[in-house]
Chain A
Amino acid sequence: MNPDHDPLLEVTDLHAYLGDSHILQGVRLTVPRHRVTVLLGRNGVGKTTTMRAVLGLVRRTGRVVFAGDEIGQEETHDIVRRGIGYVPEDRDVFHGLTVGENLRIAERRGGRPRYDLVYELFPELKNRTKHLAGTLSGGQQQMLSLARGLLNDNDLLLIDEPTKGLAPVVVREVVDVLERTAGQTTVLMVEQNLAVARRLADHIAVMVDGAIVLNGPATRLADDDETVRAYLSVESAISGAGS
């Protein structure tokens, strides 16, 4: 069966509000199974809010269908327990908890935490289980945040700007891990670094002003280069400098 006809996540007419600002204005997005979908767009168009709205972390209305079930009305913890991992933009590891505790709190009731996998992917974390997460470097915190998302066997990973603010060496390490996990699970990712996006994306979605204007295979990223660049002028400048 063509995975595009049975998407894992299907969002229709999603509206979200922050305070009294209307941030998402009818987002429509499909995330096909076993693929990496990269959400592109300038700063402030609502990429992060889209993820948070899917998770129910912001006030939202609209249809969100995950693995065939409507979850648009559900609460965050119920949504997450359906098998969604979240790696937020600013890592959001718990600084006052140790590395071990940061992982332990991510364990789900009845689940089988994959410590072997996580420590194999991030050997650095294994030696630091007793360290406070607040004392880790930015790259290590990102790894811990990813590890928290990978600890459970999730069907969908929402990853928000995993390479933001990281040194090039660390970016490479993170991208390697993402590439390995991409084969096993479905990923929706926000990535501003166009080089990284190109390398990982099977599908793309381009956002402008709270709505998706382009959603399709990543080949469009190459074919439609001019269009994409027009939407993403800022980011292409960054990736030009980086690659």
Chain B
Amino acid sequence: MTPLVLVGVVALLACAPFLAVPGLGVLPDTVGGIGSLQVLGTAYVIAALAITYDLLMGYTGLVSFGHGMFFALGSYGFVMLLAFTPVGFWTAAASAVGITVVAAVIVNAVALRASLIAYSMVTLAAAQLMAIAIGQNYLGSGGADGVTIPFEKLPAALVGIVNTKHVYWLALALLVGTFALARWLTTTRIGHVWRAIRENELRAEVMGFTVYTYKLVVALIASTLAGVAGVVYAILLGAADPGETSLSFSIGLVIMLILGGRGRVWGALLGAVVYTLLQQRLPAITSSAGVAALPDVVRVPLAQPQLLLGVVFILFVLFLPGGLAGVVDNGVRAVRRRRSGPPTGVAADGELAAAVSVPASAEPTR
């Protein structure tokens, strides 16, 4: 996609609050409606979070089961500082991100000492610590109810239904910023080293890269950005939600990446948007009269977005490990080939990987 097209897409999305186009059931009302903006805003924030997770898992091969923790730290840090201390909006937001960074340094400096599977387990353990602490209402974190933002401490422009479009723009800005940063990072040298680590850690080490440092850097970047996304999410939701620390929230992130295509910034974005829209809208759509009349065998799975997502996820792991981005890539490549005859010698990353993995598919599979 050329930069010009991207700018156009962003401009179009920025105009969404003024569009009275019907939402066609994908969105709760017209595109510019309050409910729709809320759903879209959520999708943008989750997409930004998924992009940060892609840097970790998709690009560097670090499978964290605790990424939701840093998102939650941003949310809870921000909301709790506002609710329980006299600090103002900006101080609370900056401190929340600061807290996330400190936690990220501690958790990752320790967890990255361990082997890959152990990294997953240590991050899982760390996220559970936070889930338990919140569940037990430590520091007034509210247990299962979460903590509500004291709205009087938010800037007036972000409060109230009339101002939903401002919050929407905030979420869009977060997504655009995260997207741009991730795109840029992954094309720089550091991004190439991350990919080298994912492909073969030992070789990256032999090539003279201090793998630990590169891993720590990617983990810190991803965690910090997740914290920022957490702050925006709290503003959007008006609260900090304990669900963010659960194991299924972090597994949800994995599902988004697989759906969209891991190791692709816009793959993560796509997966997260599809995931969030399905999760937010499926129950509403299926509770409509037409579906309610269906027999249980059909209705129950339809009304459970998690079930549908889980099953689609399994099918993707089995049959489409490249995700939606892989499908689009193949389509684009096929069209180009038809247009310009045999492919030229320009090999993209994916093609190189495909060339290497040819023998794997030649092996007997039973």
Q: Kindly identify, within residues 64 to 80 of chain A, every residue whose CB is under 8 Å from any CB belonging to chain B.
A: 73-75
Q: Which of B86-94, B131-139, B259-267, B354-362 lies on the face that meets chain A?
A: B354-362
Given A20-B356, A59-B359, A61-B359: A75 touches B366 (CB 8 Å cut-off): yes
Residue contact B359 to A17, C-beta cutoff 8 Å: yes
A19 is an interface residue with CB less than 8 A from chain B: yes
Residues of chain A within 8 A of B363, CB atoms compared? 59-61
Q: Please give me the residue from chain A that is nearest to B363 by CB atom.
A: A59
Residue contact A59 to B200, C-beta cutoff 8 Å: no
| The residue from A19, A20, A61, A74 contacting B362, defined by CB atoms under 8 A apart | A61
Residue contact A74 to B364, C-beta cutoff 8 Å: yes
For chain A, the count of residues having a C-beta within 8 Å of the partner chain is: 10
Q: Kindly identify, within residues 334 to 366 of chain B, every residue whose CB is under 8 Å from any CB belonging to chain A.
A: 356, 359-360, 362-364, 366
Report the Cα distance A191→B344, complex, angstroms. Answer: 46
Residues of chain A within 8 A of B356, CB atoms compared? 20
A15 is an interface residue with CB less than 8 A from chain B: yes
Q: Kindly identify, within residues 5 to 24 of chain A, every residue whose CB is under 8 Å from any CB belonging to chain B.
A: 15, 17, 19-20
Residue contact A15 to B359, C-beta cutoff 8 Å: yes
| Cross-chain pair count, CB within 8 angstroms | 18
Report the Cα distance A75→B363, complex, angstroms. Answer: 10
Most buried by B among A20, A61, A75: A20
Report the Cα distance A162→B102, complex, angstroms. Answer: 55
Residues of chain B within 8 A of A15, CB atoms compared? 359
Residue contact A19 to B359, C-beta cutoff 8 Å: no
B145 is an interface residue with CB less than 8 A from chain A: no
Given A15-B359, A59-B359: A20 touches B199 (CB 8 Å cut-off): yes
Min CB gap B205→A, angstroms: 14
Most buried by A among B356, B363, B364: B363
Given A19-B200, A20-B199, A20-B200: A73 touches B359 (CB 8 Å cut-off): no
Residue contact A75 to B199, C-beta cutoff 8 Å: no
Residues of chain A within 8 A of B359, CB atoms compared? 15, 17, 59-61
Q: Kindly identify, within residues 39 to 74 of chain A, every residue whose CB is under 8 Å from any CB belonging to chain B.
A: 59-61, 73-74
Residues of chain A within 8 A of B362, CB atoms compared? 61
Residues of A participating in the B interface, judged by any CB pair closer than 8 Å: 15, 17, 19-20, 59-61, 73-75
Excluding A17-B359, A73-B364, A75-B366, 15 further A-B contacts by CB distance (< 8 Å) are: A15-B359, A19-B200, A20-B199, A20-B200, A20-B356, A59-B359, A59-B360, A59-B363, A60-B359, A60-B363, A61-B359, A61-B362, A61-B363, A74-B364, A75-B364
**18 intermolecular pairs with C-beta atoms under 8 Å apart:** A15-B359, A17-B359, A19-B200, A20-B199, A20-B200, A20-B356, A59-B359, A59-B360, A59-B363, A60-B359, A60-B363, A61-B359, A61-B362, A61-B363, A73-B364, A74-B364, A75-B364, A75-B366
Which 10 A/B pairs are nearest by Cβ-Cβ distance? Answer: A20-B356, A73-B364, A17-B359, A61-B362, A59-B359, A59-B363, A61-B359, A59-B360, A19-B200, A75-B364
